[in-house]
Structure 1
Amino acid sequence: MLKVQEIRELIKLVDQSTIDEFSYETNGTTVTMKKSSDNSGVKLNEAYEVPAEKPAEKIKVEEPKANEEKKAVKQSEKEPVEKEETTDFDFEIVSPMVGTLYIAPEPESDPYVKKGSKVENDSVVCIVEAMKLFNEIEAEVSGEIVEILVEDGELVEYGQPLFRVKTK
């Protein structure tokens, strides 16, 4: 379970960012934060009281929605514009949070997956570090990794595509 200070930091980060909704899952519990449309900051619902500088807000615990809207991949400045490949894929594994992505469990270890790796629904494909917590990202589908869209140590955004998978 998250500590009050961690929740405060999450609220502050979501409030200062351009994202409208944030979900965090740990130990089978999902915390979802949504910004209110009246620009008064992050609006949270039900479940836990959160002491903060602002009036008390609450957190709603719910199941995440499958296949939420995906953000477009930003083209690397290193790549020339002409180099546009189209990869045959059925599913994109996206980042469920903002953080630093790690391809391997340790710097000296082999990566979780490579191009051509076979994955199952529960296969770990990478780790995203957010607020000093290391979160294992699972494939969510069975298939083959056909494209890796990120590099080790790269900062990733919520909803950013990380891997493309050709499903079975």
Structure 2
Amino acid sequence: MDFKQIQELVKMINKSNISELSIEQDKFKITIKQKDNEVQQVITVPAAAAPIQTVVAAAPAATPAPAAATAPAAAPSAPKADNLITIKSPMIGTFYRSAGPDKAPFINVGDEVTAGKVVCIIEAMKLFNEIESEVSGKIVKVLVDDATPVEYDQPLFLVEP
């Protein structure tokens, strides 16, 4: 089972009434438990495969508060907020706007973005995951500061289609 499949499982559990899901394949076992508005993910890997045997990560439900807090501030400089599309974080990790400290950001406010274009990197457990846009349009606002932690489903960018 790869990382994207695990992400999809977490999304499905988050949207459903399922309280717990366990899957075992060969020497790999994953258990996802949901409590209240929070999904807890426990992954167990054999000792030979990884130095850390058990990893626990909590992913709270979507956090609309940051988007609502930044929307009024963005309203004067941006077009109508109701036609903006939000690019959200597909995972928990650390948000980076560029591939390295001395590199240019992948995108800036005012840049045109197309579906499939890399917009940022999210580091999770020492893995650097390139996050691609699923929409096309113009970047109106970057909602997260560089090198800061992000939660699952946290808004990262506002895009005008």
Query: What is the CA distance between 1:43 and its match in structure 2?
Result: 1.8
Name the residue aligned to 1:20.
none
Amino acid at match of 2:21: K
Give the Å deviation of 1:71: 2.4
CA 1:48 to 1:141, structure 2 compared with 1: closer, same or farther past 3 Å? farther
Asked if residue 50 in structure 1 is aligned to residue 44 in structure 2, the reply is no
State the one-letter code of the partner of 1:84: A
- Residue 50 of structure 1 aligns with an amino acid whose one-letter code is F
Q: Deviations over 1:11-32 (max 9, x none)?
A: xxxxxxxxxxxxx42xxxx222
Residue 66 of structure 1 is matched in structure 2 by none
* Residues 73, 161 of structure 1: 8 Å contact kept: no
Unpaired stretches in structure 1, ≥5 consecutive residues? 3-23, 59-68
1:125 paired with 2:119, answer yes
The percentage of aligned residue pairs carrying the same residue is 37
Paired residues of 1:70 and 1:94 also in contact (CA < 8 A): no
Aligned to 1:85: 74
1:1-49 Cα deviation digits (max 9, x unpaired): 65xxxxxxxxxxxxxxxxxxxxx42xxxx2224379686xx52347666
Aligned: 1:152 with 2:146: yes
Q: Secondary structure at the match of 1:165?
A: strand
| Aligned amino acid, residue 138 of structure 1 | E
Read off the aligned partner of 2:160 and give its amino acid letter: K
Cα pair distance change 1:48/1:128, threshold 3 Å: farther
Q: Flag the structure with higher helix content.
A: 2
Distance 2:95 2:158 in 1: 16
Counterparts of 1:34-113 in structure 2, within 5 Å, are 34=13, 42-45=20-23, 50-51=28-29, 70-74=62-66, 84-86=73-75, 87-88=78-79, 89-113=83-107
Q: CA deviation at 1:84?
A: 2.9
SS at 2:74's partner residue? coil
Name the CA distance, whole Å, in 2 between partners of 1:128 and 1:138: 11
Secondary structure at 2:64 match in 1:
coil
Relative to 1, partners in 2 of residues 1:110 and 1:38: Cα closer, same or farther, differing over 3 Å?
Answer: closer
CA RMSD of aligned residues (A): 3.4
The gaps in structure 2 that reach 5 residues or longer are: 31-41, 44-60
Aligned-partner Cα distance in 2 for 1:43–1:162? 29
Q: TM-score, normalised by structure 2?
A: 0.62
> What is the CA-CA distance between 1:139 and the residue it aligns to?
1.1
Letter of the 1:71 partner, please give it: T
Tell me: CA distance 1:50–1:112, structure 2 relative to 1, closer, same or farther (3 Å): same
Code of the residue aligned with 2:73 in structure 1: it is E
User: SS state of the match for residue 73, structure 2?
Assistant: coil
